[in-house]
Structure 1
Amino acid sequence: MDIKQLRAFLAIADTGSITRASETLHLAQPALSRQLRMLEEDLGTPLFERTPRGMELTDAGSRLIERARRALREIDGARTEIVVASPGAVRGTVDLGLLTSQSELIAAPLVAALRASHPELMLRIYTGYSDRLREWLENGEVGLAMLTDYKTSSQLDMQPLFVEQLCLVGGPRSEDLGKAPIGLQCLVTLPLILPVFYRGLRLILDHASEARGIKLNVVAETNDTRVQKAMAEQGLGFAVLPMGSVASAVDSGSLKATPIAGEELQRRTGLAVSMMRRNSLAVRAVANELTALTQAMIQDGRWPGATWLGRS
């Protein structure tokens, strides 16, 4: 098994066709087929089935694909770091996981800061819910991630960053939504647009409402924060989100928001890196820049509703 064989395998898996894979890799079809055949002979099992729809992965191919991607990412990362561009420069590609709601605040300032401090470093940003980010981190698909409502783990090095108070969010015509905090009981009669079950913010709300014997009126569920905000803006219901994720919309008048009182209605965020792999200089550089930038944004008021918990 070698790099050429893995690249051939992934190209065929991604395109579903030897013809399209050969065009992608700029490699003749017979040579590409030979690379695949050598890999299958080495592993002792077919990796694809030829069907009318194209090349489809076998069970063995499905088990190999993520490991192959991970291996090539490690090799490409090592090659980037080893090639010296200028003395003392931090180089490489870092995969960072961010919550969709937080990425709208932190992604652009982070890229700008890294361009200034480490111009030869490439940042790739992936967004999702906290449980998916944790899965990507543990699988090695990202090098570090900002996780919310995290649990301790022997596999992850977790550093607390900040805590955010949750808010009730409604459209511009919503009445009685101001700056005064409200209690969870006030949500009982409202139509709520919430994340799907077993997701970070939904778990916080479910645990708090169950502890108080309250049944929430959920009229819609979505796995996209942007959809929650759009539906709330149109008056279809109310969302529960951190103030930081809706601050710009509140400032523009397209949404209204009111804090929900109670420590149990807070979301904690930490920065996690894997303890199961050697973290490169590039990963550490991104972690340091992200931590410093987040602290500065909170202290300067650019992250509304957040309180710094990390090291000063």
Structure 2
Amino acid sequence: MDIKQLRAFLAIADTGSITRASETLHLVQPALSRQLRMLEDELGTTLFERTPRGMDLTDAGARLIDRARRALREIDGARTDILAASPGAVRGTVELGLLTSQSEMIAAPLVAALRTSHPDLLLRIFTSYSDRLREWLESGDVGLAMLTDYKQSSQLDMQPLFAEQLCLVGGPALEDHGREPIGLQRLVSLPLILPTFYRGLRLILDHASEAQGVKLNVIAETNDTRVQKEMLHLNLGYAVLPINIVAAEAASGQLKFTPLANEELQRRTGIAVSMMRRNSLAVRAVANELNALTRTLIQEGRWVGATWIGED
């Protein structure tokens, strides 16, 4: 088997359709079908069942999928190691996508670290919310991105970094709910200022509240954390945010927070790079530096409320 066959297999598995997989890989359907047929012939078994609903994995296909992802990751890592050992410095331009809410913590230290380790590398930083970052990554507008609440995909290599504890945040004049962790049942009657629908933190809250059969009292929505904070300072309601975002203001008494107890109420962040194209040494260099930086920030206690879940 070769890399093209594995990419074809993963694309079909993730999309459930040869048509959609061919669009994802920018490959005509006959060529994609040929790659799959060659892989099945080599393995001596079928990897998909062709059904009216699409392409369903067989037991053999289900056993192959994780190994296929791991194999592509190892190949890409080997290429990076070989290039890194070659003479010459890492050069080039890398476009990096960061969450707006995390960029203040990461951007400047990352640039400082890269100036020391790879001074000939130019980093361009773009900030937005997670869904938009994923769109930019899949379209090639950025070379890598930090995504939250990610799902595995044939198009992206996702490496977990850390999980952040969420908290209920209120203004100074609102009731203080203390520092003991509370559950969703306490949030039902509170006026909440939340992110707009289908965005990272909102999805976490909606899924958790549906699972517990409760309905949240949402009085305002915004996709901008700064706007949320302005409303909090005016005591208009409560927000649900990672502790690190409000740690400084809580310490000064401008805001107050109460941790949320449910493990489902955590925001997980990872590094994502495209698996659909050959990644440059520069992209991998930035990914490695980003991994090391976030781990250091967490281990030194500077990223409040975060727990490292990446590789040791």
When normalised by structure 1's length, the TM-score is 0.70
1:214-248 Cα distance to aligned partner (Å, 9 max, x none): 11110110011111112112211111011112222
Could you tell me which residue of structure 1 aligns to residue 38 of structure 2? Answer: none
1:137 partner SS: helix
- What is the root-mean-square deviation of aligned Cα atoms in Å? 1.2
1:237 partnered with 2:251: no
For residues 267-312 of structure 1, give each alpha carbon's deviation from its aligned partner in whole angstroms, at most 9, with x where no partner exists.
1111100011111111111100000000010111011111000011
| Separation of aligned partners in 2, 1:296 and 1:142 | 25
Query: Residues 73-84 of structure 1: matches in 2 within 5 Å?
Result: none
Q: 1:156-186: CA deviations, max 9, x gaps?
A: 0110111111110111233224321111111
For the residue of structure 1 that corresponds to 2:264, the secondary structure is helix
CA distance in 2 between partners of 1:109 and 1:216 (Å): 37
Superposed displacement of residue 88, structure 1:
2.6
Aligned to 2:52: none
Give the distance between the partners of 1:216 and 1:236, measured in 2 at CA. 16
> Which one-letter code corresponds to 1:133 in the other structure?
L
Equivalent residue for 1:295?
295
**Structure 1 residue 201, shift from structure 2 partner:** 0.4
Q: Secondary structure at the match of 2:154?
A: coil
Q: One-letter code of the match for 1:106? A: I
2:43 corresponds to which residue? none
Distance 2:157 2:311 in 1: 15
Aligned residue number for residue 184 of structure 1: 184
Separation in structure 2 between the aligned mates of residue 309 and residue 106 of structure 1, nearest angstrom: 17
Distance in 2 (CA, whole Å) between partners of 1:174 and 1:217 is 16
Aligned match of 1:261? 261
Aligned to 1:105: 105
Check the 8 A contact 2:98/2:126 in 1, yes or no.
yes
Q: How many residues align?
A: 226
Q: CA deviation at 1:213?
A: 1.1
Deviations 1:118-163 (A, max 9, x none): 1221111111111111110000000000111111100101101111
**Alignment of structure 1 residues 110-125 onto 2, 5 Å:** 110-125=110-125
> Residue 105 of structure 1 contacts residue 245 of structure 1 at CA under 8 Å; is this kept in 2?
no
- Residue by residue, what CA displacement relative to the aligned partner does 1:15-37 show, whole Å, maximum 9, x if unpaired? xxxxxxxxxxxxxxxxxxxxxxx
Task: Find the aligned partners of 2:158 and 2:215 in 1 and give their Cα distance.
Answer: 33
Between structure 1 and structure 2, the one with the greater Rg is: 1
Structure 2 distance, partners of 1:107, 1:252, is: 24
Match of 2:157? 157
- Listed one character per residue, the Cα deviations across residues 46-100 of structure 1 (whole Å, up to 9, x for unaligned) are xxxxxxxxxxxxxxxxxxxxxxxxxxxxxxxxxxxxxxxxx63222111111111
Residue 215 of structure 2 is matched in structure 1 by 215
In the TM superposition, residue 107 of structure 1 has moved relative to its aligned partner by 1.2
CA contact (8 A) 2:195 2:221 kept: yes
Corresponding residue of 2:127: 127
Distance in 1 of aligned mates of 2:260 and 2:111: 32
Q: Distance in 2 between matches of 1:261 and 1:288?
A: 32
Question: What does residue 247 of structure 2 align with?
Answer: 247
Partner Cα separation in structure 2 for residue 215 and residue 206 of structure 1: 9
Q: Which residue of 2 aligns with 1:64?
A: none
- Give the 5 Å matches for 1:33-182: 88-182=88-182
Equivalent residue for 1:4?
A: none
**Structure 1 stretches of 4+ moved >6 Å:** none
Q: Which residue of 2 aligns with 1:310?
A: 310
Which stretch shows the higher mean deviation, 205-214 or 171-180? 171-180
Percent identity of paired positions between Structure 1 and Structure 2:
78
What is the rounded CA distance, in whole Å, between the counterparts of 2:213 and 2:99 in structure 1?
Answer: 30
Q: Is the 8 A contact 2:176 2:256 kept in 1?
A: no
Structure 1: gaps (5+ residues): 1-86
2:309 corresponds to which letter in structure 1?
A: L
1-side partners of 2:234 and 2:190: how far apart? 15
